[in-house]
Amino acid sequence: MSFGDRLGIAGLILACIGIGIAILWPTARWVGWIAIFSAIGLLICWGVLEFKRPKEAPSFVFVFGAPLGDNDSPVWIMMLKHYGPNPAYNCDIEFFDQDRKNIEHQWLLQHPGSSFPPPGLAGKSQERLRVPEAGPIGSIGSFQWTPFDPNCQHYTASISCRDGVFKEDWEVTRVNGVLRTKITIEHGPQWIERNPKLDRVVFACSEPEFSKTPLASTLPAAKPQPNNPGWKPNHRFEFPVAIIDPNGHVQVMSGIKLPDGSTKTDFGCWNILTRHFGDATPGRKA
C-alpha cells in the first residue's frame, strides 16, 4: 500500500470520527469539526498524490517467436510472452498472419460473388489462444507456425486481458542475411478514445537495420522443407534460433561465443526471446 493510499484511509477514518462526535456529543462538536477539517486536508493530499503518481504498466500476454531448428528454418516457434509487473489474467489472444490475410483479401476482390475465400487458399492464417493466468517467471506456452515467407513476415494480434485490450503489430525482415524485427503494442481503441492526449504505445522496439516490406500478394512457387528442430552437434547456429530439446522443451539461444572469448548476449529487439519486459513504471527506466 502506497503512502498516498494510507493518507486516504486515514482521512476517511477521521471523517467518520468527526461526524460521530458531532452527532453523539453536541457539546464537543468543535472536536468533531477539527477532525472533519483534518480529514478533508488528508483527502486533498491523497488526491494530489494519486493524480501525480505514475501509473503502473499493464500486464498482458503477447506473441513473439524465432526460427525453429535453424536460423533459415521455414518453421517458427511462436512463444507467448508475459509483459508487465504483475500476473496477467484471463487473456484471449487472436493471432493473425497478415501476409495470408492479404492473399485471402486479394482473392475476394477478384471474386466479388464469393463471401469467403476457399479453405486453405494460403494455409492457416490465424490462431486463437486462451491464457487463464501468466506471470513474469516461467513458460506460458508456444505453438509452431509456418510463415508465408520466413524472410518477410507480418503479424498482428488482438489481446484482451483483465488489464485491458491491446493491439500488437510485429514484423520480421531478413536484411543482408540477418533477421531484423520491429514490434509495437498499443492500447485498444476504447482506451485511446478515453485518453486522447496520452501515449497509446505500451511497448515498442525497432532495430535500426529493420526495413519494412509489403504484404505478400501471390502464392509461393514451392513449399520449403522443414529443418530438424533439435540440437545438431558441431553445427553453427545463427541468432535468433530455438530448438526443441530431448525432453520436448523449447530452448532459445541466449548467447554467441565471440573470437576474443567473450559472449555476446545483447541482440537488440530479439532480447524479447530471453528477457522479461514491462517491470518498470511508464516513464521510468527499467
Q: Is the pTM of this model over 0.85?
A: no
How does pLDDT run across 235-269, given as a tens digit for each residue?
888 899 999 999 989 999 888 888 888 888 889 99
**HEC assignment per residue over 172-224:** EEEECCEEEEEEEEEECHHHHHHCCCCCCEEEEEECCCCCCCCCCCCCCCCCC
pLDDT of residue 259: 84
How does pLDDT run across 52-68, given as a tens digit for each residue?
444 678 999 999 999 99
The dihedral sign for the CA sequence 160, 165, 166, 167: positive
Top pLDDT among 240 and 38 is at 240
Largest CA distance in the chain: 94
pLDDT at 201 over 80: yes
**pLDDT mean over 125-129:** 97
Distance between CA atoms of residues 32 and 46, nearest Å? 21
Top pLDDT among 238 and 161 is at 161
Domain boundaries, given as residue ranges, for the chain: 3-52, 60-94+128-219+227-273
pLDDT at 222 over 80: no
Phi, psi of 45, rounded to the nearest 5 degrees: -60, -40
Q: How many residues does the chain have?
A: 286
pLDDT of residue 43: 55
C-alpha distance from residue 121 to each of 78, 155, 197 (Å): 22, 18, 42
pLDDT of residue 283: 41
Highest mean pLDDT among 42-46, 57-61, 229-233: 57-61
pLDDT of residue 27: 67
Name the one residue in this structure whose C-alpha cell is 501476409. Answer: 99
Distance between CA atoms of residues 108 and 283, nearest Å? 44
pLDDT at 161 over 50: yes
Distance between CA atoms of residues 42 and 37, nearest Å? 9
